[in-house]
Structure 1
Amino acid sequence: MRPLLAGLLILLAAPAAAQPGAVEVRVPRTFGYFLGDLVEATVEVEAEPGFALQAASLPRPGPVTYWLDLRSVETESAGTRHRLRLTYQTFYAAIDARTLEVPGFPLVLTSGDAHGATTAPVQVPGWSLGLSPLREVQPARRADPAEYLRPDGPGPRLDPAPPRDAALVLAGLALPALLLLARDRAWWPLRPRPARAFAEAARRLAALARGPETEAGYREGLLALHRGLDAKAGRRLLADDLDAFLARHPAYRPQAESLARFFAASRLAFFGGAVAEARTRLPLAEAQATARRLAAVERAA
């Protein structure tokens, strides 16, 4: 009796196996599929209350057979009805109308409570799929092989005016933008030229030479040449700095004697109070000629 009682207790404690529910497979159509087509299938399982599909038993996306792949699996449950939405893709290159079998697969329904878990295996049956060829096996014989090809479809006539007008408008907008960029980047020919200090001094002396000769005009002419020398040297240039300036700028060495006379006349005019004597030593016309020669050397450099 004791072994029999123990066996009964073990049977009560073990999970019970439930009866499988009804299974139904539906597809939009079972024929007329071509190479590469997607096939939608719906599997509905009617189970007892409290049972759910076991996720581990669901089919995994991937190859099913050499000609069929499972692309996706979606599940949906409503009460005792469980629905699987399966998407297959065919890769069978049929040469004639042919029916192939899509294999079925097993599912497991589970129901758990405090006393244990109950499982119920469900077998989804296979179903047939009709595949059609992309072309006929033996087409009609043609004398010219080119007749087997279909002619090109007529393309739509495109009006070139809108893209042409748009291109012209964009080109018109791009030109000023390019000019602004060239000015900002100092590209040629908008690259600023270095300032020509002696050319500016020569222009100022030529303007003064066209007017009446006055002491104020003479001093202004000397100041114009002074400013040109200062700009070229990068600082105030005095008579004692002339040798160092010519050493740094050897192109102006031929004008050393003229520059020495200029500094001597400038010292008389501004510090000696002898403008008349300075004009005698260095007339304004000679100062203008010195500025022109310096400007010529500057332009050549």
Structure 2
Amino acid sequence: MVFSLAYQRLSVLLMAALLAALLIVSASVSADIRIIQQSLGRDFGVLVGDQIEHSYIIAVPAEFELSPDSLPSKGDLNYWLKLLSVNANEIGTQNGIKKYKLDIVFQTFYAPLDVRVLSTPEMDITFHAGDKQQKISLPAWRFSMSPLKETAPVSSKSGESARPFMKPDLPIIAINTQRQTLTVYLLTLAVVIMAFIWLVLSGKVFSFACSPFQLAIKQIKKSKSKQDKANVSQAIYEVHQAFNSVAKQAIFSHQIDAFIATFPEFSRYKQQIIEFYDLSMNVLYGETQAKPEHFQQLLSLCRTMAKAEKLALKK
């Protein structure tokens, strides 16, 4: 009976030890951090300046969190490899397992002269749960790089000229632009001619060659052609403008003597000038009705003034 009791106690101890071992194994399994999926891209034919993109999916126990400080810093890893970006995101939790997606982008600036095998450095990522920490290593990744172009000419025959080496793929061809140039010249000439014609028709060209009274004659003739008495006032205004242009200031009736003193060439026509200012006063202020014959009177005055004006402008 004593033997039976001892056997039972031994069995209980063995069962307890086995259960403890199972719990330890289970805990170690549940705390396992591992890479369950990775995408590393092409590991051959990499050229200088290419970007290398790595993507990992890491499974960790649900209570563990990624330590952001453990992520590699952007910048130069060595003289030819640069870390452009590192992005880590939690993508979900299921059955007590949390998943993180880690994206890393490198850029290589190594310029090999022939095919070379290189590798990215190994990187450690840390996860923590309270005071506990666990690391996982992203293994180094080996890849081969190729030169952009051969560095020495390859000749199939001894003594063959290597002049074509490193020449452009296509010869440089000069583009004949004579037709386009001629078209531009013709269009420019057409625009200039049209602008010149418009300026001539509008009276803006060659007006500098005409004296003020000659310009007044042209404007009075335009007003006269309309056969409208109301245009007599406009014709009178043109004559006033001619006197003002010669004197370089506005001339009123009480300034006639000063005008003639400055321009003595007009002195012999003083009476005609006085009569014009009297007509202007009477027509513009309603004492005299405008008549078609006033056009002829104004034209005659302007022709007379134009003769004296030529002498005044020569001074």
- TM-score category of the 2 structures, normalised to the smaller one: 0.5 to 0.7
Q: State the match for 2:213 in structure 1.
A: 198
Q: State the match for 1:3 in structure 2.
A: none
Shift of 1:58: 1.4
Matched residue type, 2:107: Q
Shift of 1:153: 2.6
* Equivalent pair of 2:54/2:105 in contact (CA under 8 Å): yes
Q: Hey, what's the Cα distance between the residues in 2 that align with 1:133 and 1:98?
A: 9
* Equivalent pair of 1:225/1:291 in contact (CA under 8 Å): no
Q: State the match for 1:255 in structure 2.
A: 266
Q: State the match for 2:86 in structure 1.
A: 73
Shift of 1:158: 8.9
Q: State the match for 1:145 in structure 2.
A: 162
Q: Which runs of 5+ in 1 are unaligned?
A: 1-17, 207-222, 272-283
1:152 is paired with a residue whose SS is: coil
Structure having greater relative contact order (Cα 8 Å, sep ≥ 6): 1
Q: State the match for 2:142 in structure 1.
A: 128
1:199 is paired with a residue whose SS is: helix
Give yes or no for the alignment of 1:106 onto 2:106. no
1:74 is paired with a residue whose SS is: strand
Shift of 1:65: 1.8
The superposition leaves residues 160-181 of structure 1 with CA deviations (integer Å, 9 ceiling, x where unpaired) of 89x959x76x957x938x949x
1:66 is paired with a residue whose SS is: coil
2:164 is paired with a residue whose SS is: helix
Shift of 1:99: 1.8
Q: Hey, what's the Cα distance between the residues in 1 that align with 2:308 and 2:50?
A: 88
Matched residue type, 1:175: V
Structure 2 CA distance for partners of 1:143 and 1:20, relative to 1, 3 Å = same
TM-score, scaled relative to structure 2: 0.55
Q: State the match for 1:56 in structure 2.
A: 69
Q: State the match for 1:21 in structure 2.
A: 33
Aligned length: 239
**Alignment match of 1:35 (pick from 18, 34, 48):** 48
The superposition leaves residues 138-176 of structure 1 with CA deviations (integer Å, 9 ceiling, x where unpaired) of 643453231323453378999989x959x76x957x938
Q: Which runs of 5+ in 2 are unaligned?
A: 1-29, 222-235, 283-297
Q: State the match for 2:310 in structure 1.
A: 296
Shift of 1:266: 7.8
**Alignment match of 2:102 (pick from 84, 97, 122):** 84
Q: Hey, what's the Cα distance between the residues in 2 that align with 1:137 and 1:190?
A: 69
* Equivalent pair of 1:72/1:86 in contact (CA under 8 Å): yes
The superposition leaves residues 239-267 of structure 1 with CA deviations (integer Å, 9 ceiling, x where unpaired) of x63332134xx3x21332x1345468789
1:73 is paired with a residue whose SS is: strand
* Equivalent pair of 1:100/1:130 in contact (CA under 8 Å): yes
2:113 is paired with a residue whose SS is: coil
Structure 2 CA distance for partners of 1:82 and 1:265, relative to 1, 3 Å = closer
2:61 is paired with a residue whose SS is: coil
